[in-house]
């Protein structure tokens, strides 16, 4: 049987619907037994005892009431069985989304977006049949046959013995085919994951593929993967249909055996007609839960297979620290790194024994070659990753003890490639401040020199700007990012040289806006251009994760060290 402890543990989130589903299923079975017994008595009374309608009318009315009650109970059972999967699916989506957010951008960048999307949608949907059909049916296939045998044995022990002996044949057959079906299901899921991630990558890189003339090759590749998925799906369906045929054949033969032995004993008056007819009518109901278990058996396999990917994401050992202390950004503050070290592979330190102290209101520039640890420094400060040793302090309080919400509330981050969502300009601006008033939004647009551009759009501020701002120029994207930062009004601004990829004229314009935005703020800048370095209060020169020089622009030039070497080689661009 396809059981997984972690999946069974999830039943705690749907305990009441599950108990109600099982209880209602048992009540349906009792109603079936009762209606079958009543039908056998009615037929015996009319055809053998020659009773008239008036004499059996009460029995017929009782039969109608029981049959109606059975229909209502079956509807309720179906309703609550889907409530089980609904509750669990909602819970899984919530904790899975939370786990992905907790991993942070740095850790999540190593994952395939298409595969994650497939897990969140198709993977969780595959659990619906597992919880609503397969798990309840496992219990029904045990409880209901026992319940029926308990009624049959006192009436006709020979028929009860036949039912008891033939019943295990169906689950035995399911176990025999289970391994083959499980292997096929794993292969199907693996192919679907690969198809989803590959297709997502192709769509994101469509421009590059077109430019290099590789779009036809990728079309062929997607077709090949789709064909492989089709073949694996057909393989799963073949096993499912063949197993269903075998199960139906086994149950039909078993019912036929019951019918033959009852018929022979009726001829020789070894059993009462009403009892024999009741057993004959109830025999299909005895095998029905076992047949239904066979039908939902593949849903169980699919659910367990999909759950492996879900729990792989949930169980991944990603260090996630979220404290319970609320930090206060209203007062002057200090940010200090003490003996800070970090390594991605556990061997080579990207940040190596770093010691820095930053006072509020300071303008800090960080320079260094690619791979010197500048971006890692920002990721540590943003709590996207956590140090292997040492600590980061905010007013002598470890930032690991601070709540992420309060920590991020005082930070604005401007990167070279800010992300804009497939929403309106207004919605993209309100991400930084959902309570921003219309006047505040207008001020932010004016601050970023976006007024003329927004007024030229057909729907103004309510214009959809496309995924990643694809309908905008790089300068317009950065202006929206600056307007978004203006709305947040943070005390600490982290700049990853947001104007590095723009032409000189737009760069000068936006740099002046950034400088104005940074007034009376604490600013830490990863610098690539000289004009962002000269005015800094302190410049930290990084090399192989260490600070090799510290000072102002003029002081460092006089030292004629690493900074002077950068300045001489790059002539204004670091």
Measure the CA–CA gap between 521 and 553, rounded to whole angstroms: 20
Structure tokens at 563: 């900074």
Q: Return left, alpha or beta for 370; rule: phi > 0 is left, psi -120 to 50 is alpha, else beta.
A: beta
Query: How confident is the model over 491-505, as pLDDT tens digits?
Result: 888 888 777 666 666
Measure the CA–CA gap between 190 and 183, rounded to whole angstroms: 11
Least confident of 10-14, 169-173, 370-374, 432-436: 169-173
Measure the CA–CA gap between 196 and 533, rounded to whole angstroms: 45
Write down the pLDDT at residue 38: 92
Least confident of 50-54, 90-94, 511-515, 533-537: 511-515
Structure tokens at 36: 């079958």
Taken in order of first residue, the domains within the chain and their CATH numbers are 5-315 (1.20.1560.10), 411-489 (3.40.50.300)
Does the structure show a pLDDT above 90 at 62?
yes
Answer with the residue of higher pLDDT: 370 or 264: 264
Does the structure show a pLDDT above 60 at 317?
no
Question: What is the DSSP track for 25-51?
Answer: HHHHHHHHHHHHHHHHHHHIIIIIS--
What is the rounded average pLDDT of the residues 101-126? Answer: 68
Write down the pLDDT at residue 113: 62
Its sign, for the CA torsion 28, 32, 34, 38, is: positive
Closest CA to 413 of 506, 525, 510: 525
Measure the CA–CA gap between 81 and 74, rounded to whole angstroms: 10
Write down the pLDDT at residue 572: 47
- The average confidence (pLDDT) of the chain is 82
Query: How confident is the model over 335-349, as pLDDT tens digits?
Result: 998 998 988 877 788
Does the structure show a pLDDT above 90 at 169?
no
Write down the pLDDT at residue 115: 67
Write down the pLDDT at residue 71: 94
Write down the pLDDT at residue 451: 86
Confidence bin at 24 (pLDDT 50/70/90): very high
What is the rounded average pLDDT of the residues 264-274? Answer: 84
Question: What is the DSSP track for 63-111?
Answer: HHHHHHHHHHHHHHHHHHHHHHHHHHHHHHHHHHHHHHHHHHHHHHTTS
Confidence bin at 535 (pLDDT 50/70/90): confident
Write down the pLDDT at residue 68: 95
What is the rounded average pLDDT of the residues 78-96? Answer: 87
First CA to last CA distance, the chain: 63
Measure the CA–CA gap between 43 and 50, rounded to whole angstroms: 10
Residue 543 φ then ψ, to 5°:
-150, 115
Closest CA to 146 of 133, 168, 164: 164
Under DSSP, the state recorded for 343 is: E
Contact 316, 329 (CB under 8 A): no
Closest CA to 421 of 497, 507, 375, 484: 484
Contact 498, 510 (CB under 8 A): yes
Q: Half-sphere exposure (CA, 13 Å, Cβ side) for 44?
A: 14
Percent helix, strand, coil in the chain, to 5, is 65, 10, 20
Query: How confident is the model over 478-534, as pLDDT tens digits?
Result: 888 888 888 888 888 888 877 766 666 676 777 777 778 777 888 888 876 666 677
Least confident of 74-88, 176-190, 288-302, 408-422: 176-190
Write down the pLDDT at residue 318: 55
Confidence bin at 75 (pLDDT 50/70/90): very high
Write down the pLDDT at residue 159: 86
Write down the pLDDT at residue 35: 93
Whole-prediction pTM value?
0.68
Structure tokens at 219: 């079309």
Contacts 24+ apart (CB under 8 A), 325-329: 325/397, 325/401, 325/402, 325/403, 325/406, 326/402, 326/403, 326/406, 327/394, 327/395, 327/397, 327/399, 327/402, 327/403, 327/406, 327/407, 327/410, 328/395, 329/409, 329/410, 329/490, 329/491, 329/492
Measure the CA–CA gap between 357 and 495, rounded to whole angstroms: 18
Write down the pLDDT at residue 20: 93
Measure the CA–CA gap between 435 and 487, rounded to whole angstroms: 10
Write down the pLDDT at residue 21: 93
Beta bridge partners of 338: 391
Write down the pLDDT at residue 378: 86
Q: Return the CA Rg of the chain.
A: 35
């Amino acid at each position: 049987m396809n059981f997984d402890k972690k999946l069974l543990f999830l039943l705690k989130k749907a305990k009441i619907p599950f108990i109600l589903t099982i209880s209602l299923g048992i009540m349906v079975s009792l109603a079936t037994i009762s209606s079958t017994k009543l039908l056998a008595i009615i037929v015996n009374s009319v055809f053998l005892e020659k009773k008239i309608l008036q004499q059996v009318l009460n029995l017929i009315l009782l039969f109608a009431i029981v049959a109606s009650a059975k229909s209502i109970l079956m509807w309720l059972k179906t309703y609550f069985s889907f409530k089980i999967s609904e509750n669990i699916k909602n819970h899984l989506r919530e904790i899975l989304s939370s786990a992905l957010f907790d991993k942070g951008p740095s850790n999540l960048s190593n994952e395939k977006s298409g595969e994650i999307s497939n897990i969140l949608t198709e993977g969780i949907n595959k659990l619906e049949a597992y919880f609503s059909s397969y798990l309840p049916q496992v219990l029904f296939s045990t409880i209901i046959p026992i319940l029926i045998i308990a009624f049959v044995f006192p009436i006709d022990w020979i028929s009860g013995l036949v039912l008891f002996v033939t019943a295990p044949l169906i689950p035995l057959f399911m176990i025999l085919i289970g391994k083959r079906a499980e292997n096929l299901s794993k292969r199907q899921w693996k192919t679907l994951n690969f198809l989803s991630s590959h297709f997502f990558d192709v769509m994101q890189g469509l421009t590059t593929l077109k430019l290099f003339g590789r779009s036809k090759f990728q079309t062929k590749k997607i077709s090949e993967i789709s064909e492989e998925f089709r073949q694996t799906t057909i393989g799963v369906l073949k096993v499912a249909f063949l197993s269903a045929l075998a199960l139906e054949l086994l149950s039909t033969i078993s019912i036929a055996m019951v019918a033959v032995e009852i018929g022979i004993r009726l001829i020789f008056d070894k059993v009462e007609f009403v009892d024999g007819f009741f057993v004959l009518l109830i025999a299909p109901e005895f095998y029905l839960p076992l047949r239904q278990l066979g039908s939902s058996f593949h849903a169980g396999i699919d659910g367990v297979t999909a759950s492996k990917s879900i729990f792989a994401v949930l169980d991944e050992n990603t260090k996630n620290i979220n404290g319970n202390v609320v930090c206060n950004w209203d007062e002057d503050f200090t940010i200090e790194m003490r003996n800070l070290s970090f390594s991605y592979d556990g061997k080579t330190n990207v940040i190596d024994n770093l010691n820095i102290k930053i006072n509020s209101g300071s303008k800090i520039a960080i320079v260094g070659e690619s791979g010197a640890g500048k971006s890692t420094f920002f990721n540590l400060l943003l709590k996207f990753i956590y140090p292997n040793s040492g600590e980061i302090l905010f007013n002598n309080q470890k930032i690991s003890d601070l709540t992420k919400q309060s920590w991020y509330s005082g930070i604005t981050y401007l990167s070279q490639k800010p992300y804009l969502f497939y929403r309106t300009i207004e919605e993209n601006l309100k991400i930084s401040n959902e309570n921003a008033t219309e006047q505040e939004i207008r001020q932010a647009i004016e601050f970023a020199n976006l007024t003329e551009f927004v007024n030229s759009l057909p729907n103004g501020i309510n214009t959809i700007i496309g995924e990643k701002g694809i309908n905008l120029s790089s300068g317009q994207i950065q202006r929206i990012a600056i307007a978004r930062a203006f709305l947040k009004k943070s005390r600490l601004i982290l700049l990853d040289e947001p104007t590095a990829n723009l032409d000189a004229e737009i760069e000068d314009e936006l740099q002046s806006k950034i400088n104005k935005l940074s007034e009376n703020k604490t600013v830490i800048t990863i610098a690539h251009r000289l004009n962002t370095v000269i005015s800094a209060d302190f410049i930290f020169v990084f090399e192989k994760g260490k600070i090799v020089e510290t000072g102002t622009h003029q002081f460092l030039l006089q030292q004629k060290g690493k900074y002077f070497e950068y300045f001489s080689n790059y002539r204004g661009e670091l």
